[in-house]
Amino acid sequence: MYTQVPVDVQEEAMECKNGMSCIAEGHCIDKEPCKVQRVGCRNVLFLVDDKRVRTCSYLMKFGPDQICTCPVCYYLYTHTSDEYATCGDMCEK
């Protein structure tokens, strides 16, 4: 899986500990991709809590939710996911 991610989006994700492997591989190094429950706005993805341990600079807990704030993951999800097509009207692309 290779998706062209704009340089400005990549520059926003310089804290990535996985070398932005999601761009070429579709996931972080040897891990499955995080499952998105719903899309927030501006680089916010609410994740399905599958109890996996993740060591990501862009993952945070917000109450009971796990949130991904990675600009690259957000871009990839909102530009390549079929699921996003059904809920993407809430946020600007």
Q: Tell which wins on pLDDT, 89 or 11.
A: 11
- Domain map of the chain by residue range? 7-90
pLDDT digits (tens, 9 = 90+) for 31-86: 677 888 889 888 899 988 777 667 788 988 888 888 999 999 899 888 877 665 44
Q: Hey, which bits of the chain come out as E strands?
A: 36-39, 45-47, 59-62, 65-68
CB 72 within 8 A of CB 13: yes
Distance CA(30)–CA(11), nearest Å, equals 23
